Structure 1
């Protein structure tokens, strides 16, 4: 089995992070046929996800996301590709919800 660990810092606050996690969960369910269970907490939330060959958790905090997943034997061979897609998708969601500041025009 192979493990995936991804940490992404953000400055969105817990409510905005929850919205991103909800988007991630919806897409994981519809595109990847993941079963997802959301457990809200006071300071952080936990989203558990699974499907044959993979299971894990996404911890949602006011200043970071922490994703831990375990791949089964067959999917372990594709760890690099799976991890790359997860990173790309999470980074895309963060970028959509946290636009970069505009450059100042020279005066």
Structure 2
């Protein structure tokens, strides 16, 4: 299964970064019917075809995901959209 692994530094407080990831997760739930759950400072998410985690560090956001067979051909597009959203919120 193809995987995505993206790290993005940030200069926000831990609480601000956590809140931003929570906002993004709320949009993901609405738009893509993704379920998510916080496990300490890591948001685990999944839906058919994809599962992953968004870890909130003191100076870095780490997104990791595994794509199922049906979403594998869209890996580049999905990765590009994740990078765009990270740049939008954490640049």
Interval of TM-score (by shorter of Structure 1 and Structure 2): over 0.9
TM-score (norm 2): 0.94
Cα displacement string for residues 47-101 of structure 1 (whole angstroms, at most 9, x for unaligned residues): 0000000000000011000010000011011100010011111221225xxxxxx
Tell me how far apart the structure 2 counterparts of residues 73 and 53 of structure 1 sit (CA, whole Å). 7
Aligned length: 91
Aligned to 1:18: 18
Bigger Cα Rg: 1
Q: Distance in 1 between matches of 2:83 and 2:32?
A: 15
Give the TM-score of the pair, scaled to structure 1: 0.81
Structure 2, gaps ≥5 residues long: none
Runs of 4+ aligned structure 1 residues displaced above 3 Å come to: none
Using CA pairs under 8 Å that are at least 6 residues apart, name the structure with larger relative contact order, 1 or 2.
2
**C-alpha contact (below 8 Å) 1:24/1:90 kept by paired residues:** no
The two structures, once aligned, show a CA RMSD in angstroms of 1.0
SS in 1 for 2:70: helix
